[in-house]
Amino acid sequence: MTTTSLKSSISKRIRNFPKDKLLVVEDFVSYLAERSDNPATKELLRIPGLLSEINAAKKEFASGKGIDWRKVRSDV
C-alpha cells in the first residue's frame, strides 16, 4: 500500500467519526509525531544493533524463555 493510499484510507475511515473519537485519533497522531521527533529516541536508535537485540529479546520472551522481573529483582 502506498503512502497516498494509506492517507486516503485513513481519511475515509475517520471522516464521519464523532468528536470524541476524533480527539482520540488526534491524541494518538500527536503521540506518534512526538515520539519520532524525540531526541532521546533518535539517540537510542543510533546504538548499533539495539533494534536487533530488542527483537531477539521479544522472540525469546514470546517462546517462554523470559523471566518474571519479580524473580530477578525483589526490591523493585
- Give the model confidence (pLDDT) of 35-58 as tens digits: 767 788 888 889 999 989 999 998
Domain spans of the chain?
3-66
Residue 46: C-alpha distances to residues 33, 43, 52, 55 (Å): 19, 5, 12, 16
Task: Give the Cα separation of 31 and 42 in Å (integer).
Answer: 15
Residue 31 is predicted with a pLDDT of 87
pLDDT at 75 over 70: no
Percent above pLDDT 70 for the chain: 95
Cβ neighbors of 41 (< 8 A, separation 6 or more) are 35
